[in-house]
Amino acid sequence: MYCKSLQAGTTTMAIGTSLSTKIVFLVIFISVVSIIALASISISISQQALQKDAAQRLNLIASDRIQTLRNIWNLQMEQVDSLASDMDIQSLLILHQNDGKNLSMDQNSREKELNKKIEEETFEKFLSLTKITGSFADIQLIDDKGHLLASNNQNPVNKEQETMIALEIVKNYQEDRGYSGWISNPLYSIAYDGGLGSAVLVMIAPVFESDPNNEPSTFGKLIGSVVVFRDIDTANSILGDKRFLGETGEAYLVDRSGRLLTDSRFDDNARYKTVVSSIPVDACFGNGSDINAAQYISYREKLVFGTSQCERNIGVVLLSELDNAELFSPIVSLQERYTVIILGIMAAAALVAFYLSNSVLRPLQLLRKIMKTVQGGTFQKADIRRSDEIGDLASSFNSMVDELEIRAKKLKLRNDILELMSSRLAFQTEQLLKADKDKEEFSAMISDELKRFVIPIIGYCELLLDGSLGEISAKQKEKVEIMLERAWSLQKLVQNILDVRRLEAGMLKMNIKPEVSVKWLLEHSLDTLRIITRSKGISVILEIDDRITLACDPTRTIQVLDNLIENAIRRTIETNKTKILVTVSLSSEMVDREVSVVFSVQDEGSEIPEQEKKDILGNKFYDLDTSFT
């Protein structure tokens, strides 16, 4: 026990060899984890603050600029709406509606004059009053069936293209509102003109027939529309203002097809040639929603942070966005500073941990060295004088060394005593083995001698009983039966003694055979007892199923059955009864996942007393009775 305790101590010391390194790493780990946690929290808060500030700034830019554009476009729409109230335009539309009603020569001439006047005077006057320097504007007059009546654009291809654009806008307006008639309210929308290769602002103002009573607040019949096409250079100029957008921020318009309608800050050729399929575009034209603050991939394949203002009724969405790299550049700078701080703290923590580990481990290393000396059998004390826990540990160690020295001496004395007792026990064991061997040899000799005498007795008794040696009287026959029964009992006893010796020596072997007939086992058992049962007038009744078989050692099984039936015969003779019932059945309980066979021997004798049951269990050679009665 003492040696094992020292070995366990050695294992503990080996584990503590790198304790200094562990302390250094532990201090560094705690310091670094604390700084990293603090830095992560600080960076996370900073990111949230930057995102919130950027979201507010971009939302303000987007809402301010889209509101500016709405104001400009609404003003231009009011100008177009005022043009729609021109009396010459109304007169031309009314005359056009009467074309199929046999107009007079004067009326046809009037219609042509009005057409020319409107194209050359009314439209030109409107353009001179409303045209912005450097921009263009085309005007068309369309009846309520969508037929072009007048236009200041004399290019037939362009006129047809513009008319188709206007009709497409009206169609979209009707589909969005489930309306089948011509539009009755002013509207404007932005569309791409393939002939011009640019986007145009299309403004449509309905024309109503004047009220006969000249009441200005009352509208008459809808008879057509005035359509004005303007470029969107004003929008491009307003969105080109990069103030408050940093180095990478920009605001731009995108139409329903995803086409970029205004200039790009980064690509001079991107306008009208770039298709934008970012999240804000899908959200606007998918479900009409705005994006307040989100990260997504822009048309430049860069991760950006942006907002949007959806103007689905106009056919555009305004995007205001900033590159993620610029948005979070302060975070990158902060991370670099934290990295420098962490490295500095790691160096300082390593120095402090190294100093602390040396001051703690030096006495522990001395103590470990002394422990190894004690393990070698030399009881040496530790000379460590400190007032801290290490000093208490050294004091406890010295007390343990004193105790170990005393116990070692006691243990040596006890070992000497045990060695002496062990030598005596070995001598006694040798004597017992010799005595046991002599007993085995004596038992074998006695068993052989008894068999030699018992077998002839059994043979002659059976000859006397079956009349082979002549007739004998009933009284003689009774005595011979007693002799035969005792001879059989003696032979079984001898056999049981030999079996017990073989069992104790581990030499008893079982010869298991599969599918042994139960009927065959009982018949062989009854053959040895047939003379006794016949002479006593006892009938043994068998209730068995011939199909039942058993996996067993036939000899050992018959030996067990002999004992059971013989005991039943004795009890039956005691009560002067004449019947014994032997039944065999299959058990309803499984034993080792196999079906077992139950042998039941029932006699009409007296019950075995409780005391004899205990004797049977406690004595391997106990006999219930010593004689027939």
Q: Checking DSSP bridges between strand 513-517 and strand 316-323, what pairing results, if any?
A: unpaired
pLDDT of residue 211: 62
pLDDT at 392 over 70: yes
The model's confidence at residue 110, banded by pLDDT at 50, 70 and 90, is confident
Domain covering 85-235 in this structure, CATH number: 3.30.450.20
- Pick the more confident residue, 71 or 34: 71
Which is it for the CA torsion 33, 35, 38, 40, positive or negative?
Answer: negative
**Comparing 211 with 383, which gets the higher pLDDT?**
383
**Pairwise CA distance, residues 500 & 556, whole Å:** 13
Rounded to an integer, what distance in angstroms lies between the CA atom of residue 584 and that of residue 545? 7
Q: Kindly indicate whether the domain formed by 415-509 is annotated with CATH number 1.10.287.
A: yes
Q: Which residues, at least 6 apart from 440, have a Cβ–Cβ distance to it below 8 Å?
A: 501, 505
The reported pLDDT for the residue numbered 491 is: 74
* pLDDT class of 275 with cuts at 50, 70, 90: very high
Beta carbons of 62 and 251 less than 8 angstroms apart: yes
Residues 242/226, Cβ–Cβ less than 8 Å: no
- CA-nearest of 132, 297, 143 to 201 is 132
Residues 364, 365, 369, 372, CA torsion sign: positive
SS3 state of residue 536: coil
Residue 293 has pLDDT above 80, yes or no: yes
The pTM assigned to this predicted structure is 0.52
Q: Which residue has the higher pLDDT, 450 or 83?
A: 83
Every domain of the chain and the residues it spans: 85-235, 240-327, 415-509, 511-629
Supply the pLDDT for residue 3: 39
First-to-last alpha carbon distance for the chain, in angstroms, is 67
pLDDT of 64 over the 90 cut: yes
Side-chain-facing half-sphere of 127: CA atoms under 13 Å: 22
Average pLDDT over residues 541-546: 81
pLDDT band, residue 591 (cuts 50/70/90): low
584 has pLDDT over 60? yes
How far, in Å, CA of 249 to CA of 247, rounded? 6
Q: Which residues are within 8 A (CB) of 191 and not within 5 positions of it... i.e. 6 or more apart?
A: 165, 168, 169, 199, 200, 202, 255, 315
Residue carrying the six token digits 């602390």 = 356
Output the pLDDT for position 5: 37
Residue 88: pLDDT over 60:
yes
Q: Residue range 28-47: average pLDDT?
A: 82
What percent of the chain is predicted at pLDDT more than 90? 20
CB 312 within 8 A of CB 292: no
On average, the pLDDT of the chain sits at 80
The DSSP result for 17-53, as a single string, is GGHHHHHHHHHHHHHHHHHHHHHHHHHHHHHHHHHHH
Looking at per-residue confidence, does 291 or 107 come out higher? 291
As a whole number of angstroms, the distance between CA 262 and CA 264 comes to 7
User: 193-202 pLDDT, tens per residue?
Assistant: 888 889 999 9
* The predicted structure's pLDDT at residue 158: 83
- In the block, which residue shows the tokens 């007892």? 529
pLDDT > 60? residue 103: no
Report the CATH fold assignment for 511-629: Heat Shock Protein 90 (3.30.565)
Please list, in sequence order, all residues whose beta carbon lies within 8 angstroms of the beta carbon of residue 124, skipping any fewer than 6 positions away. Answer: 152
Distance between CA atoms of residues 388 and 396, nearest Å: 13
CATH architecture of residue range(s) 240-327: 2-Layer Sandwich (3.30)
Alpha helices by DSSP H, listed for 511-609, are: 518-527, 530-535, 554-574
* 3-state SS, one letter per residue, for 429-478: HHHHHHHHHHHHHHHHHHHHHHHHHHHHHHHHHHHHHCCCCCCCCHHHHH
Please give the Cα distance from 535 to 478 (Å, whole number).
8
| Ordered DSSP codes for 62-94 | HHHHHHHHHHHHHHHHHHHHHHHT-HHHHHHHH
Per-residue pLDDT tens digits for 496-505: 777 777 777 6
Quick one: DSSP state of residue 16?
G
Which whole-number Å values give the CA distances from 275 to 131, 256, 316, 389, in the listed order? 31, 10, 13, 75
Looking at residue 105, its pLDDT comes to 63
Higher-confidence residue of 195 and 622: namely 195
Domains 85-235 and 240-327 share a fold: yes
Minimal CA–CA distance to 366: which of 3, 6, 8, 13?
A: 13
Which of 81-95, 133-147, 167-181, 265-279 tops mean pLDDT?
A: 265-279
Phi, psi of 282, rounded to the nearest 5 degrees: -65, -40
